[in-house]
């Protein structure tokens, strides 16, 4: 399957532009979550309802194990592997 160089260039440009927009939106989301978290802390609640919206907060705990913290034989026996593709896009010069 052959791809025209301009097509690839266009796709990569659109990807980059979309990624930049997402970064901006993720930063805004983080600010809103922080503000709502402060309000919840002040009110000592984990649920807020206002304007037809409901926000619930759950406190999760994740347990993990690092390779350095267990004997090699235990790591070898119990470690699980996940395979997935990672795409990294950076803007060239």
Q: Is the dihedral of CA 67, 70, 74, 78 positive or negative?
A: negative
- 50 - beta bridge partners? 53
Q: How far apart are CA 52 and CA 2, in angstroms?
A: 51
- pLDDT tens digit string along 36-51? 999 999 999 999 999 8
**Alpha carbon 85 to chain centroid distance?**
16
Domain boundaries, the chain: 5-78
Print burial letters for 62-93: b (CB count within 10 Å at least 16), e (below 16). Answer: eeeeeeeeeeeeeeeeeeeeeeeeeeeeeeee
Q: For residue 18, what are the CA distances in angstroms to 5, 6, 23, 47, 83? A: 20, 18, 9, 33, 26
- pLDDT tens digit string along 51-89? 889 999 988 888 888 889 999 999 889 888 888 888 776
pTM greater than the 0.75 cutoff: no
């Amino acid at each position: 399957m052959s791809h025209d160089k301009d097509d690839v260039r266009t796709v990569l440009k659109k990807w980059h532009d979309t990624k930049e927009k997402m970064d901006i939106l993720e930063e805004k989301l983080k600010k809103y979550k922080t503000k709502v978290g402060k309000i919840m802390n002040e009110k000592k609640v984990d649920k807020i309802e206002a304007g037809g919206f409901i926000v619930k907060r759950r406190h999760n705990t994740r347990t993990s194990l690092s390779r350095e913290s267990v004997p090699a034989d235990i790591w070898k026996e119990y470690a699980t592997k996940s395979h997935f593709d990672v795409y990294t896009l950076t803007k060239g010069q």
